[in-house]
Amino acid sequence: MFSAVYTERVLEPAYGNWKALYAEDAMAVHRAHLVGLAERGIVERGTAAAIARAVDAIGREFRYPERIPEGVEDLYFVFERELGERVGAERAAYLHTARSRNDMDTTVFRMALRRALAALARSALGTARAAASRARAGSAELTVLYTHGQPANVSTMGHYLEAFAADLAEDVEDLVAALGAVDRSTMGACAITGTGFPLDRRRVASLLGFAGLVENSYQAISTSHWLTRPAAATRALMGDCGRLAADLLHKASCEVGLVDFPDSLVQKSSIMPQKRNPVILEHARIHASQAAGGCAALEDLYRNVPYQDVNEAADAPVSAFLGTLGIAESALALVAEIAAKVSSNQARAREIALRYGVTTTELADEMVRSAGIGFRTAHEICAAFVRSGNEHGALRSAFSERVGRELPFDDARIEDILSPERFVAARRTEGGPAPEGMAGAYAALESRLAGIDASLRARDGRIASAEDELASAWKALLG
């Protein structure tokens, strides 16, 4: 008999999690393992068929008790007891040949986590595509990009949002790579050293839709990588989402005013009539931060943990991580809505650009190209021009003082060089905001997103085929 405190705080929550999150995957593991036992002659086919019929009957008829029964420590033993009621305890015990709760539980957890991570990757892919679509639509929309909180360069919304979409693409690639660490079966590892029975571990892994197995039986039950790697990838993804939200909050402020949002994403004040609060940005940041915190907690959980089978890889942390992934999906949905519906204030972009000398980099560049002076000298001349309040006379004086001759630009040419449109058009190098510069970036992004999509579709197809194969093998077992 377990203590009341241990039952209430550990066993009961775990039992509830298994019923809600893992029971269906556990049934798939029972079926695949029994097929594997029968196919290898480890369990006689008549006995296996009787067990299979009882397993199906449990799936149709049995309902797990609301609370964990006395005398058992988890849902598996409730299942095993029910199986014994139907086929006899001795016969039921054959199902547990060549397996342990160690390899069985981690396989079930990996199946649930694999599904949740794939869903998160698809959500992130959708968010990246929303940002990429809005970027293309904003290829000619002027904006101002900041460095260190100060206006730095004129650019376009396309340049800005494509950069974020490209970061998301990298994040999703890392997430899919981390999913590879999850998508490996541990069945057949048993407690830690495998089994003396001739079980075909790869056959069981294939029936469960896994890409492969964790070959070393000790690694299978000791590794943390199937949790910590996706946690790290998800945390990086959430970090980028939070950074975009924080940056757009700055750009949406009244003092900056470079972006705005429709009324559907804005809340009003209950007392201040003038307020339009783009709260979706704050909620995206909150969700992203909460998810990132959950990921960091999971990573930190393994600090100085023995390299053994430990409960850090059991129900409570895994279930919490599944909840974290749900919060991460919410953050991605909010960011997708933000990216799709953000609008730019191009008039304000021009005002900031001209007031704060944002385009004077191009003026310095043109002095190098056309006036035959070094960039450092041109930089000093343009800095003096900005300090003067953009006075043409001050620009000419600064040039004459430093170069010893007159500036070869008339006023009309100076204004043309300083125009935001000229600034953008001149930046045609690969990755710059001009259409010529962005063409390659858009193409590369589309290729990466298509590759991610193909990878996820292939994974889905493999799992669906495995489900069909398991159903066929199960039918054959039933006779």
**Per-residue pLDDT tens digits for 246-265:** 999 999 999 999 999 999 99
CATH number at residue 183: 1.20.200.10
326 lies in the same domain as 450? yes
Indicate the number of domains in the chain. Answer: 3
pLDDT exceeds 90 at position 71: no
204 lies in the same domain as 91? no
Q: Exposure of 249 by Cβ count < 10 A (0-12 exposed, 13-18 middle, 19+ buried)? A: middle
Q: Within 13 Å of residue 381, how many CA atoms lie on the same side as its CB?
A: 29
Residues 240, 161: contact at Cβ < 8 Å?
A: no
CA 267 to chain centre: 28
308 lies in the same domain as 226? yes
371 lies in the same domain as 320? no
Residues 298, 211: contact at Cβ < 8 Å?
A: no
Please tell me the predicted confidence (pLDDT) of residue 269. 81
81 lies in the same domain as 130? no
Q: Does the residue 434 lie in any domain? A: no
43 lies in the same domain as 151? no
CATH number at residue 38: 1.10.275.10
138 lies in the same domain as 255? yes
Q: Does the residue 403 lie in any domain? A: yes
Q: Does the residue 382 lie in any domain? A: yes
> Per residue in 345-357, pLDDT tens?
999 999 999 999 9
Give me the domain span that covers residue 379: 360-418
46 lies in the same domain as 161? no
156 lies in the same domain as 266? yes
Q: Does the residue 313 lie in any domain? A: yes
SS3 state at 359? coil
Q: Does the residue 353 lie in any domain? A: no
90 lies in the same domain as 47? yes
pLDDT exceeds 90 at position 274: no
3-state helix, strand, coil in the chain (%, to 5): 70, 5, 25
Q: Does the residue 474 lie in any domain? A: no
Q: Does the residue 479 lie in any domain? A: no
> Per residue in 197-217, pLDDT tens?
999 999 999 999 999 999 999
305 lies in the same domain as 198? yes
Contacts of 464 (CB under 8 A, 6+ apart): 209
56 lies in the same domain as 186? no
Can you give the pTM of this predicted structure? 0.95
Q: Does the residue 476 lie in any domain? A: no
